[in-house]
């Protein structure tokens, strides 16, 4: 069973359609068996996708197996413009499939496999002689297996019915006969719900249902293993296994490591929590889809365990009403826990079951209602309670983001609501409570307005939200409910003769016939569907519609939050309007911080943002509850960022400590605060406080922080070195590795541990051992993202190469040099040695990270032909990477190209030019093309409706049609409308982030610098100058041996003047004394503009032309000079 309800459309699009396009190298052979037994609507939908295979020339071959059917025959005759080959199989030959099925089930079914050979032979004879279909035979074999013993199985074998419906009827009758009278209602209730529920129910939901409806429980697990063994089954979902892993990892993350030693408390907690599997991890369902369809069928035989579909839908709908309309006050009602468990299902599917009742009980031809009066009264009363927002129904809908219930309000439903309301009014007046009677009168007069009370209350809830995500969700629900008023009330046209068949549309010979049946005119898609208004227009309609709802300061703030992502200028106007009318400190606090966060994220007005948060933090906060913690944390973070950027370091450190205290137990929310705090303390030279902070906030942050992970460890290692606490650092890393290893999380920490040993302490042996552990591990998972990391093994391989190269240089014999050479050649053969070539991000890495080091070793030790081969391969890889369609790997590739060129005499100037180009966009158009692709991918991802909630459970969303309706024209419309407002606030722009410098190309800028990534001085700097992102900051000396070692000019001059022994204090020493350096920028370098290299006293040259000339002329010439000696 799937843990989420996947539509056939989603399955087709995501697992088949995208993977086998005409240009694909792969081919799919799709076998569809027994289509004639499928649901007609689903079969027609599937056949429509089959047509698309032919039209789009996809690499898919389709084979239909099973009995011939009218549906398939008509489809192949009228809808497929391709030869449809039919192969008839002799019945005797087809019986071989039955024998294979018997052999398989005799081996796999646990009880049947233990039957004697005599009984198996009898079973095989009955199955073969009976001319049963494979599906029926398979179901019978499972039924015999459920009997457990041979004698009951043989009795059942002699009483086999003719077909599956008869068989299922007998199974239910047998189950009913074995039940006690008090047990029968429980199973009947469960069967009805499982048959007609919109998604599979969890075991926890089933138990809650029994408790709520009957006030007692049965041992459902025992029933499934016993009397219902031929009917029900339970399936473990993927969610449970994922939750177990997450719980184990959370226990590790939450536990603060003691440097003196570790405890087993966390492990005991994990073990205790894993002892009992929660009910929510199991789905209860019928054993077969055919049984499920049988239980949903309208033909109810004379048995006591099957309910009619109408009564089942009514029971589910009334239960949903009870769950949604019950009071949530403490102690108000019994069974509160059961109601809460069923809330999510009820919130999402109450409308679907209401539609199910109408579909069954209302004639499509003359619109008469066939339901009994008491059913009509009951349904209308429940529907009125929900639509009247009894006991704050919208709060529960918002809690579960249940927008799907409003999507179901379509397809002529208002007209049927009118019919049912009129029918209820025609019944005896004594049956309808007064408030329900008044509601029914209003519904009969204007059925399209029945959901407007819900829309009004959604607006009220929206106006109370203080966070962007919840405000946006509340607004979207309010709009969905509000938009239902536009649905036409007129009754849908009666179905034509023959149109009851769901496959009717397949049988039209051509579109002309279809148009003629519709009246002779073809609808114009551009005019028949109105464009959905954007968020700004939606708010302009929604807010005035409920003039009795006071907007106030909180309302204007919530409006701004809903506009924030797409209409930032108008959002700012709303925040300002809110601030002008604020009267209470709470409103001022919320609005000031929301506005300040907007200014900080979207504008350059950082000083105004800082003033805003300072005013907010100066207010009386004694009346704030926990829901304002996020705003408090935001205010402190904004203040700290401003203070850090304006050299108010002491104040920034205090603000960051306060921000972390707000969410002291949440490492995700405080990851950025933590990295900023360490950066600030490092700038202040407070290394002891860094070590104390690691202890206070938990050493586990060194492993799982999601912000500046490299830098956090870098600052920690530096602090340990400066304070003489290297042994404490090693112990901390050792404990982290031990703690993380069982979860395969240890490799990133091993890498940082190895860097500390090598670069800070000079312990090459320990570093080498740790790096080999990374390459020899079964897997490498990043604990910050819980995803497989290809980067860590890649970096470990490069770091190992550097260590081996230093050993090679220090070798005193040819044997030692040969051993080092052999060792570095074998790095790729390690278990994860080539992990970086196996992932989706292969293009972001060098194919052979140690290529230049290996080439230098070949040049020194030989053979020289290997030197040329290795270096040429690295050079060609660099050229190919710089010419590809991926601009994000250019910086690393340029640095590697510098290393390659520096290996060959005569190319030092070209090496310097390659190094100089690292801070520039080589091709702006390519960058913009990739950014556009990323934006479109992000939009597609956001429109993905099958998502998982924060609790790990599936989200009940089904907005496929809505997602399909949005197109690029809407995006263009919103963009054009936004441009009209740019003259109001010129400083408003897209949200600031790492991508921001890449999307603001100003023609007036002198050069196209990237600004989003730089290099850090790896020398003796103690004042943390930060990243160098421009040659205007300083010249840099790049080591062409080490992987990531650049020295600022000051540190390099110290190194040269003291022969590597600087007069200043150094905390890292790993760059060898004999290493070669290339200075950047190159002499005469000016920059790159519009893809052209500009040098003093030289004509601008296209970078690609420079690269091509290097490949065609200078590279071959350099080799000629090299071989000449």
Q: What is the pLDDT of residue 1114?
A: 95
Q: Is residue 207 part of a domain?
A: yes
Q: Is residue 138 part of a domain?
A: yes
Q: What is the pLDDT of residue 1?
A: 35
Query: Is pLDDT above 70 for 1088?
Result: yes
Q: Is residue 595 part of a domain?
A: no
Q: What angle do CA 8, 10, 12 make, to 5 degrees?
A: 70
Which of the four pLDDT bands, split at 50, 70 and 90, describes residue 934?
A: low
Same domain, 95 and 70: no
Q: What is the pLDDT of residue 164?
A: 74
Query: Is pLDDT above 80 for 16?
Result: no
Which of the four pLDDT bands, split at 50, 70 and 90, describes residue 278?
A: very low
- Rounded distance, CA 599 to CA 991, Å? 10
Q: What is the pLDDT of residue 735?
A: 94
Q: What average pLDDT does the segment 1017-1041 reach?
A: 79
From 432, 452, 472, give the residue that closes a domain. Answer: 452
- Rounded distance, CA 973 to CA 979, Å? 10
The proportion of the chain whose per-residue pLDDT surpasses 90, expressed as a percent, equals 42
Query: Is pLDDT above 70 for 247?
Result: no
Q: What is the pLDDT of residue 509?
A: 34
158-162, 395-399, 601-605, 1004-1008: which range is least confident on average? 1004-1008
Residue 1033, classified by CB atoms within 10 Å of its CB into exposed (0-12), middle (13-18) or buried (19+), is middle
892-901, 960-969, 1100-1109: which range is least confident on average? 960-969
Angstrom distances, CA of residue 850 to CA of 823, 845, 865, 1040: 12, 12, 17, 12
- Rounded distance, CA 988 to CA 969, Å? 23
835-844, 870-879, 1086-1095: which range is least confident on average? 835-844
Angstrom distances, CA of residue 751 to CA of 225, 375, 793, 795, 849: 51, 69, 9, 8, 16
Residue 650: CB atoms within 10 A of its CB come to: 11
* 129 vs 1035, residue with greater confidence: 1035
* 685 vs 46, residue with greater confidence: 685
* 617 vs 145, residue with greater confidence: 617
Task: Identify which of 404-418, 787-801, 953-967, 1004-1018 has the greatest average pLDDT.
Answer: 787-801
Q: What average pLDDT does the segment 894-907 reach?
A: 94
Q: At what angle do helices 649-662 and 629-645 cross, to 10 degrees?
A: 160
Q: Is residue 822 part of a domain?
A: no
Which of the four pLDDT bands, split at 50, 70 and 90, describes residue 1110?
A: very high
Residue 888, classified by CB atoms within 10 Å of its CB into exposed (0-12), middle (13-18) or buried (19+), is middle
Same domain, 363 and 413: yes
Query: Is pLDDT above 90 for 623?
Result: no
Alpha helices (runs of H) in 564-628, residue ranges in sequence order: 568-581, 585-602, 606-618
Same domain, 436 and 324: yes
Same domain, 428 and 327: yes
Query: Is pLDDT above 80 for 413?
Result: yes
Whose CA is closest to 54, among 76, 86, 26?
76
Cα 91 to the center of its chain, rounded Å = 49
Q: What is the pLDDT of residue 736?
A: 94
112-121, 525-534, 868-877: which range is least confident on average? 525-534
Q: What is the pLDDT of residue 863?
A: 92
The proportion of the chain whose per-residue pLDDT surpasses 70, expressed as a percent, equals 79
Same domain, 322 and 448: yes
Whose CA is closest to 899, among 932, 864, 851?
851
Q: Is residue 627 part of a domain?
A: no
Q: What is the pLDDT of residue 975?
A: 39
CB 277 within 8 A of CB 269: no
Query: Is pLDDT above 80 for 390?
Result: yes
Same domain, 113 and 241: no
- Rounded distance, CA 554 to CA 288, Å? 53
Q: What is the pLDDT of residue 1111?
A: 95
Q: What average pLDDT does the segment 168-196 reach?
A: 84
Residue 313: CB atoms within 10 A of its CB come to: 24
The residue segments making up the domain with residue 363 are 308-452
Q: Is residue 1037 part of a domain?
A: yes
Which of the four pLDDT bands, split at 50, 70 and 90, describes residue 251?
A: low
Same domain, 440 and 314: yes
Same domain, 284 and 359: no
Same domain, 217 and 326: no
pLDDT, tens digit (0-9, with 9 covering 90-100), for 201-215: 888 899 999 999 888
Q: What is the pLDDT of residue 34?
A: 73
Query: Is pLDDT above 60 for 87?
Result: yes
Q: How many domains does the chain have?
A: 5
Residues forming beta bridges with residue 234, ordered by sequence position? 284
Q: Is residue 600 part of a domain?
A: no
Same domain, 340 and 409: yes
Give, for 1078, the enclosing helix (H) or strand (E). strand 1077-1080
From 452, 480, 504, give the residue that closes a domain. Answer: 452
pLDDT, tens digit (0-9, with 9 covering 90-100), for 632-682: 999 999 999 999 999 999 999 999 999 999 988 788 888 999 999 999 999
Hey, what are 540's tokens?
């302009």
Same domain, 363 and 396: yes
- Let me know how long the chain is: 1125
Whose CA is closest to 1054, among 1093, 1006, 1022, 1101?
1022
Q: Is residue 491 part of a domain?
A: no
Query: Is pLDDT above 50 for 260?
Result: no
Same domain, 435 and 314: yes
CB 478 within 8 A of CB 458: yes
Q: What average pLDDT does the segment 774-790 reach?
A: 90
Q: What is the radius of gyration, based on Cα positions, of the chain?
A: 36
328-332, 437-441, 752-756, 847-851: which range is least confident on average? 328-332
């Amino acid at each position: 069973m799937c843990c989420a309800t996947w539509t056939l459309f989603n399955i087709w699009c995501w697992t088949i359609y995208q993977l086998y396009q005409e240009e694909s190298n792969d081919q799919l052979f799709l076998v569809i068996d027994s289509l004639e037994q499928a649901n007609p609507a689903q079969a027609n939908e599937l056949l429509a996708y089959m047509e698309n295979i032919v039209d789009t020339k996809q690499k898919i071959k389709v084979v239909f197996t099973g009995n011939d059917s009218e549906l398939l025959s008509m489809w192949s005759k009228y809808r497929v413009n391709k030869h449809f080959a039919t192969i008839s199989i002799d019945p005797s030959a087809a019986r071989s499939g039955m024998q294979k099925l018997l052999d398989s089930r005799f081996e796999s079914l646990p009880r049947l496999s233990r039957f004697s050979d005599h009984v198996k032979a009898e079973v095989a004879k009955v199955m073969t002689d009976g001319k049963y279909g494979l599906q029926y035979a398979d179901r019978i074999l499972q039924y015999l297996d459920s009997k457990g013993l041979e004698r009951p199985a043989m009795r059942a074998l002699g009483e086999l019915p003719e077909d599956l419906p008869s068989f299922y009827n007998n199974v239910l009758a047998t189950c009913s006969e074995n039940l006690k009278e008090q047990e029968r209602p429980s199973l009947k209730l469960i069967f009805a719900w499982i048959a007609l529920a919109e998604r599979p129910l969890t075991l926890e939901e089933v138990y809650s249902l029994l408790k709520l409806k009957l006030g007692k429980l049965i041992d459902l697990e025992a029933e499934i293993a016993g009397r219902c063994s031929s009917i029900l089954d339970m399936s473990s979902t993927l969610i449970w296994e994922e939750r177990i892993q997450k719980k184990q990892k959370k226990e590790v993350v939450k536990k603060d490591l003691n440097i003196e030693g570790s405890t087993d408390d966390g492990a005991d907690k994990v073990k205790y929590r894993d002892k009992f599997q929660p009910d929510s991890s199991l789905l209860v369902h019928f054993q077969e889809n055919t049984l499920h369809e049988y239980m949903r069928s309208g033909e109810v035989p004379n048995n006591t365990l099957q309910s009619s579909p109408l009564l089942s839908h009514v029971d589910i709908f009334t239960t949903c009403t009870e769950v949604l309309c019950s009071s949530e006050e403490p102690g108000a009602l019994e069974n509160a826990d059961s109601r809460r468990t069923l809330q999510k299902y009820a919130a999402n599917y109450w409308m679907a079951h209401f539609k199910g009742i109408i579909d069954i009980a209302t004639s499509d031809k003359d619109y008469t209602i066939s339901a009994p009066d008491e059913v009509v009264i009951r349904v209308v009363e429940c529907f009125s309670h929900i639509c009247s927002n009894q006991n704050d129904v919208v709060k529960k809908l918002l809690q579960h983001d249940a927008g799907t219930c409003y999507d179901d309000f379509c397809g002529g439903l208002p007209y049927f609501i009118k019919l049912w309301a009129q029918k209820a009014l025609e019944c005896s007046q004594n049956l309808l409570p007064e408030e329900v009677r008044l509601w029914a009168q209003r519904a009969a007069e204007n059925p399209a307005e029945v959901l407007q009370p819900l829309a009004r209350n959604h607006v009220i809830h929206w106006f109370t939200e203080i966070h962007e995500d919840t405000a946006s969700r509340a607004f979207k629900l309010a709009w969905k409910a509000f938009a239902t008023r536009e649905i036409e009330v007129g009754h849908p046209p009666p179905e034509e003769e023959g149109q009851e068949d769901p496959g009717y549309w397949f049988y039209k010979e051509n579109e002309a016939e279809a148009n003629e049946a519709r009246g002779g005119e073809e609808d114009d898609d551009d005019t028949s569907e109105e464009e959905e208004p954007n968020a700004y227009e939606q708010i302009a309609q929604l807010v005035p519609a409920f003039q009795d709802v006071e907007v106030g300061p909180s309302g204007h703030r919530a409006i701004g939050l809903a506009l924030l992502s797409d209409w930032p200028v108008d959002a700012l106007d709303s925040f300002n309007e809110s601030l002008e009318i604020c009267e209470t400190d709470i409103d001022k606090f919320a609005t000031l911080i929301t506005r300040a966060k907007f200014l900080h994220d979207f504008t350059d007005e950082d000083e105004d943002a800082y003033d805003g948060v300072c005013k907010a933090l100066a207010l009386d906060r004694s009346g704030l509850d926990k829901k304002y913690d996020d705003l408090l944390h935001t205010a402190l973070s904004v203040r700290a960022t401003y203070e850090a950027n304006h050299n108010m370091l002491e104040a920034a450190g205090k603000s960051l400590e306060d921000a972390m205290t707000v969410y002291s137990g949440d490492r995700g929310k405080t990851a950025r605060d933590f990295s900023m705090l360490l950066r600030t303390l490092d700038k202040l030279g407070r290394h002891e406080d860094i070590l104390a902070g690691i202890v206070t906030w938990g050493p586990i942050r060194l492993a799982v922080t999601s912000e500046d992970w490299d830098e956090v460890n870098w600052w920690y290692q530096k602090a340990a070195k400066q304070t003489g606490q290297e042994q404490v650092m090693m112990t901390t890393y050792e404990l982290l590795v031990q703690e993380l290893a069982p979860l395969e999380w240890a490799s990133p920490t091993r890498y940082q541990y190895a860097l500390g040993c090598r670069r800070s302490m000079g312990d090459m042996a320990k570093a080498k051992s740790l790096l080999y552990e990374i390459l020899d591990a079964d897997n490498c998972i990043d604990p910050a993202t819980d995803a497989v990391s290809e980067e860590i093994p890649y970096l470990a391989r490069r770091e190992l190469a550097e260590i081996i190269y230093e050993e090679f240089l220090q070798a005193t014999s040819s044997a030692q040099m040969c051993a080092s050479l052999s060792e570095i050649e074998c790095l790729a053969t390690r278990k994860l040695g080539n992990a970086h070539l196996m992932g989706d991000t292969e293009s972001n890495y060098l194919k052979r990270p140690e290529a230049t080091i290996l080439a230098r070793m070949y040049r020194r030790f030989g053979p020289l032909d290997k030197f040329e081969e290795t270096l040429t391969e690295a050079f060609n890889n660099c050229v190919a990477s710089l010419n590809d369609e991926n601009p994000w790997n250019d910086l690393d590739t340029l640095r590697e190209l510098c290393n390659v060129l520096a290996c060959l005499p005569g190319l030092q100037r070209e090496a310097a030019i390659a190094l100089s180009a690292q801070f520039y966009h080589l091709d702006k158009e390519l960058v913009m093309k990739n950014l556009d692709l990323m934006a479109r991918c992000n939009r597609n991802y956001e429109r993905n409706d099958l998502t998982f909630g924060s609790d790990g459970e599936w989200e009940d969303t089904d907005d496929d049609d809505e997602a399909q309706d949005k197109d690029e024209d809407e995006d263009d419309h919103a963009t054009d409308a936004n441009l009209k407002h740019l003259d109001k606030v010129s400083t408003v722009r897209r949200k600031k982030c790492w991508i921001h410098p890449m999307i603001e190309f100003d023609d007036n800028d002198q050069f196209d610098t990237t600004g989003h990534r730089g290099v850090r001085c790896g020398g003796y700097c103690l004042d943390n100058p930060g990243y160098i992102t421009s040659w205007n900051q300083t010249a840099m000396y790049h080591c062409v041996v080490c992987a990531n070692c650049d020295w600022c000019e000051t540190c390099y001059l110290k190194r040269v003047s003291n022969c590597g022994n600087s007069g200043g204090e150094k905390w890292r020493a790993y760059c060898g004394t004999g290493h070669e350096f290339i200075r950047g920028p190159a002499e005469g370098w000016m920059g790159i503009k519009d893809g052209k290299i500009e040098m003093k006293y030289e004509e601008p040259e296209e970078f690609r032309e420079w690269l091509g000339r290097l490949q065609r002329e200078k590279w071959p010439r350099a080799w000629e000079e090299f071989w000449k000696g």
